[in-house]
Structure 1
C-alpha cells in the first residue's frame, strides 16, 4: 500500500530552516490501522498530509500502490485523492449552507456520478453512521458528534482505499470521543480501508495495533499485539 523512503519536509522560519520530517521511512500495508502520536509541532499532521497527497516532501518518496505521490503531476494527484483517499478532520470541514446529505454528496461529484446515484449513496453512508433521520439537517442543527459522523460518511461514501483522520476526536468530549472511535473502528472492520489517524489522545493510542511515535521529524513504530 504505502512505502515512504527518506521523506523529508523542510520549512523556512525566518532565516532558519526547520525539518518537519527528517528522513522518515515507513511501510503501511493494505488494511492496516496505524495511529500517529507525538508532541505538537513534531510532524504528525505533516506526515498525514504527505500520505494524502496534500503536500509534497522536500526529499524522498511517498509511494501508494506503486505510484510516487511526491512526483505525480497535480492533475493525476487530484484524481488519486478524489478516488482513493478519504479525509476526516478535527474541525469537520462541513459546508454550513449544505444539508448533511448534500455535504456527503460533495465527495462523489468528482467521480462523475449522476445525481440520483449520488443521493442514494450519500443517504446510505449517513445511515451507516446512525444519521438516517438527519439527512436534511444543516451542520448548525447537529451536535459536534453528529457533525463528525457526517464528515466520516463523506470520507467513506466513495469507498476509498485509504482513510486518513487528523485529530478526529479533538473537538469532542470524552463520551463523544469514545462514540466516534467506535464508529470509525466498526466502519474500518466492515469496509477494510487502510486507516491512518493522528491523535494526541493517549487513550486512543494505547488501543492501536500499530503506533507510530513521531518527534522532531523522526519516527518510531511499535506493534501492539494485545490491541483489539
Structure 2
C-alpha cells in the first residue's frame, strides 16, 4: 500500500524555482489501479517518479508498505526498485543489440539469480505477453507493439508488486493501444498488481476505476463507477 503525505517537489531553474508537486496526499491500496492525467508540465511524471523511487521529494513522505522511500539510503532504495517495482515507458527503452530474451533478462541481473533461472523466468515472461516465439529477435526486427510487449515482460519478470507505466501507449496507433491496454489490464488482474499509469489518452482513463487529475502540482482523485 502507498501512503503519500504532503509530497512537495521543487526544481531550481536558474534563479527561478518550479513547484512540480504541491502538498500531494494520496493512498493507493494493494492491488489498486489508478490513472493519472493532467496538462503537460502539471506534475504527472514527477508523481510517478516519486512512487517509483526514481526521485525524492523536497518535502513529505512516500511510504510503500510502511517504508518511506523519500528517506531510504540509496542502496536500499535501489533494492526496493529492483525487487518490488516494475517500470514501463513510452519509448520502450530496449537495448537494440540484445534479443528480446536478453533484454528481459537484464531486469534480473540485480537480483543475482543463476543464469539458468534468469533464462527460464525471461522465457516465461515473454510467453505471458504472447512473444514466446520471438525470444531471439532484436528490437529492430519487431513492431512497436511487440517492442512494448517486451518492455512489459521486462517489467514483470522480477515479479514486482507494483507496476508503474508512463504513457505506455503513447507511441502506438489506436488498435495497438487497445491491445496493449487489454494485456496490461489482464496482467494486473492475474498477478494482483498495484498498477499506476500516466496517460494523456482520455479513452484509456475512462477504463480505470480511479482517476487522479493533477494541475499545477495539486491532485484531485475521483472514482469511476463505470469502469
Q: Do they superpose with TM above 0.5?
A: yes
CA distance in 1, matches of 2:215, 2:119: 43
Deviation at 1:226, TM superposition (A): 1.8
The question of 1:71 aligning with 2:56 is answered no
Structure 2 match to 1:224: 224
Deviation at 1:158, TM superposition (A): 1.0
Structure 2 match to 1:176: 176
Structure 1 match to 2:127: 127
Structure 1 match to 2:85: 85
Alignment of 1:1-228 (within 5 A): 1-227=1-227
Q: Mind listing any 5+ residue stretches in structure 2 that lack a counterpart?
A: none
CA distance in 2, matches of 1:190, 1:156: 12
SS of corresponding position for 2:107: coil
* TM-score, normalization by structure 2: 0.99
Deviation at 1:207, TM superposition (A): 1.1
Deviation at 1:108, TM superposition (A): 0.8
* TM-score, normalization by structure 1: 0.99
The count of residues paired between Structure 1 and Structure 2 equals: 227
CA distance in 1, matches of 2:122, 2:195: 21
CA distance in 2, matches of 1:67, 1:118: 28
- After TM superposition, which residue ranges in structure 1, 4 or more long, deviate above 6 angstroms? none
| Residue-by-residue CA offset, 1:139-193 (whole Å, 9 max, x unaligned) | 0001000000000000001110100000000000111100000010011110011
| Residue-by-residue CA offset, 1:107-150 (whole Å, 9 max, x unaligned) | 11111111111101100100110001100000000100000000
Calculate the aligned-residue CA RMSD, in Å: 0.6
CA distance in 2, matches of 1:112, 1:193: 23
Deviation at 1:16, TM superposition (A): 1.4
SS of corresponding position for 1:108: helix
CA distance in 2, matches of 1:217, 1:175: 32
Deviation at 1:40, TM superposition (A): 0.4
Deviation at 1:6, TM superposition (A): 0.3
Deviation at 1:13, TM superposition (A): 2.0
